[in-house]
Amino acid sequence: MPRVAAIDCGTNSIRLLVAELTERHDGTVDLRDLHREMRVVRLGQGVDATGRLAPEALERTRAALADYTIAARRKGVERVRMVATSATRDASNRDEFFAMTREVLGTEAEVITGDEEARLSFTGAVGEQDPDDGPFLVVDVGGGSTELVLGDWDGRRASVTAARSVDVGCVRITERALKSDPPTSNEIVAAREFATGVLAEAFDAVDVSKARTWIGVAGTVTTLSAVAQELPEYDSERTHLSRLTPADITRVSGQLLEADHAARAANPVIHPGRVDVIGGGGLIVQILAEQIGLRGGPAELVVSEHDILDGIALSLA
């Protein structure tokens, strides 16, 4: 089977996975990592306020994508799929983004729907799980949106039963409500009200009480795990499949919201591109934990380093 490259261009970061796909005897596909990379380009900078992609954000994305293209070619990639999510869905000048990606990558970027984003994230997240631990609730807290997906995994394929994407993420909530450094108590209250109201739509569509296991994916959740563990440096092997209790989430979220920019930047596990928005991301995860608990869902959060990138790569099989 071919070597593939999956590129996920979100509101806050752009990520690359180069992988080798192998078909097993039972017809399922095994994915072996060859290269993973993430850069924070903040493509969604100001989109919530202006409705447009900022020129400097487009240029940062162009530079990262050019390097990714070179890396994919050096690894002998035969198939490439790039997906773009919340920021480009919302931007009035998204045609500039498409023209840039065609020029640099040589193929079209896909602006996927929130539901497709949720399906791909679910597929990537549940592949290592014991089917008996399902149904699974997979939550992806991104820069501009948050996805909730409920489904099953039989050891060979994923089956999604409900999914919803809503427009609240770490960048969007920070730009809208958390403007002071550190945020004021009034700002935190406003941010909490905003996130709770938006997330209600997702909870109306996805019955979390049916889930036995809650899995969180993407940079906000993995960073919360690294902070909670007080790691001396970011270590994906330590964060992958770690667990956070509701008390852990509340404690870490509170610490991040109380800290100023300098204190967050001094923490070695927080990527420089997440320093400004990790407090808002933590607040969203805290609200998710509270609401999932109130609705009879699983209490503990399983942290996964495998997410939409893995799902994109598997879609190329």
- The CATH number of whichever domain residue 50 belongs to comes to 3.30.420.40
**Closest of 282, 279, 289, 273 to residue 257, by C-alpha:** 279
Asked if residue 83 and residue 158 are part of one domain, the reply reads no
Q: Residue 185, SS3?
A: helix
Domain-located, residue 36:
yes
Domain-located, residue 313:
no
CA–CA gap between residue 73 and residue 5 (Å, rounded):
9
Asked if residue 287 and residue 177 are part of one domain, the reply reads yes
User: Residue 290 maps to which CATH number?
Assistant: 3.30.420.150
Q: Residue 234, SS3?
A: coil
Domain-located, residue 157:
yes
Asked if residue 195 and residue 139 are part of one domain, the reply reads yes
Asked if residue 142 and residue 102 are part of one domain, the reply reads no
Domain-located, residue 312:
no
The tens-digit pLDDT sequence of the chain (317 residues) is 789 999 999 888 899 999 988 877 666 677 888 999 989 898 988 887 899 999 999 999 999 999 999 999 999 999 999 998 767 877 899 899 999 999 999 988 998 877 777 778 888 899 778 889 999 999 999 888 898 999 998 876 788 999 998 989 998 999 999 999 999 999 999 999 999 999 999 999 999 999 999 999 988 999 999 999 999 999 999 999 999 999 999 999 999 999 999 999 999 999 998 999 999 999 999 999 999 999 999 999 999 998 889 889 988 87
Q: Which domain holds residue 59?
A: 3-111
Asked if residue 149 and residue 100 are part of one domain, the reply reads no
CB 197 within 8 A of CB 177: no
Asked if residue 180 and residue 59 are part of one domain, the reply reads no
Per-residue pLDDT at 271 = 92
Kindly give the residue spans of alpha helices, DSSP state H, lying in the chain.
Answer: 47-50, 55-74, 86-90, 94-105, 114-126, 170-177, 185-205, 219-228, 236-239, 246-258, 261-265, 278-294, 308-314
Per-residue pLDDT at 201 = 94
Per-residue pLDDT at 135 = 97
111, 143, 167 - which closes a domain: 111
Q: What is the DSSP letter of 131?
A: G
87, 111, 135 - which closes a domain: 111
Query: Domain total for the chain?
Result: 2
**pTM of the predicted model over 0.85:** no
Domain-located, residue 232:
yes
Asked if residue 140 and residue 100 are part of one domain, the reply reads no
CA–CA gap between residue 247 and residue 236 (Å, rounded):
22
Kindly report the number of other CB atoms within 10 A of residue 203's CB atom: 19
Q: Residue 56, SS3?
A: helix
Asked if residue 266 and residue 169 are part of one domain, the reply reads yes
